[in-house]
Amino acid sequence: MKLKPNIATSEAGFIFNPATGDSFAANPLAADILARAKAGLDAAAIKADILTRYDVAPGQLEKDWDDLLAQLRDFNLLDGSGKWEAGSEEQAMGKAK
């Protein structure tokens, strides 16, 4: 997952897109995920870490992960046209290449 480079995130979950002026509130887990993604961790590592720390089944996390990506895409916060981490989410959703 790659956020647009100019997107600002705060620890409290405030997200700002200076290009559009849009701002967003992320809940704690979304803020945590975005911070790790910005720090360069890949999706697999972030998910593995969530599974060790949170009380959630892997299947549920996968589903919610896809939903988070859908939201990021919908809000225009992702870099490129969705070619992040080839072979991961986008492909699984049948959209990539």
Partner 1 sequence: MKQPYERPTLRKLTAGALHKFGPRAGAAPTTALDGVPVAELVARFGSPLFVLSERQLRRSYQAAVRAFGTRYPAVQLAWSYKTNYLNAVCRTFHQEGAWAEVVSGMELEKALLNGVPGPHILFNGPGKRRAELERACEVDAVIHLDNADELHLLLDVAVGRATRPRVALRVNLDAGIYPQWDRFGFNLENGEAWQALSRVVASGQLALVGLHCHIGTYVLQPKAYGTAATKLAAIALRCQRELHTAVQYLDLGGGFPSTNTLKGAYLPAADTVPPLDEYAETITNVLLGAGFPADELPLLVLEAGRALVDDAGSLIGSVLANKRLADGRRATILDFGVNLLFTSFWYDHHISPTREFSDHTEPTVLYGPLCMNIDQLRDSIALPLLAPGDTVVVHKVGAYNMSQWQQFINLRPNVVMVDEAGAVHLIRAAETLEYLQQLERVPAHLAGPRLSS
CA 78 from centre of chain:
8
Q: Do the beta carbons of residue 20 and residue 31 sit within 8 Å?
A: no
Lookup: tokens for 89: 């989410």
Shortest Cβ 92–partner 1 spacing (Å): 16
Shortest Cβ 83–partner 1 spacing (Å): 21
Question: CB within 8 A of 95, min separation 6: which ones?
Answer: 82
Q: Do the beta carbons of residue 90 and residue 77 sit within 8 Å?
A: no
Shortest Cβ 26–partner 1 spacing (Å): 5
| Residue ranges that bind partner 1, judged by CB under 8 A | 15, 22-30, 32-33, 52-56, 60, 64-65, 67-68, 70-72, 74-75
Question: Which CB atom, from 22 or from 81, has the smaller least distance to partner 1?
Answer: 22
CA 66 from centre of chain:
9
Question: Which CB atom, from 70 or from 83, has the smaller least distance to partner 1?
Answer: 70
Question: Which CB atom, from 28 or from 81, has the smaller least distance to partner 1?
Answer: 28
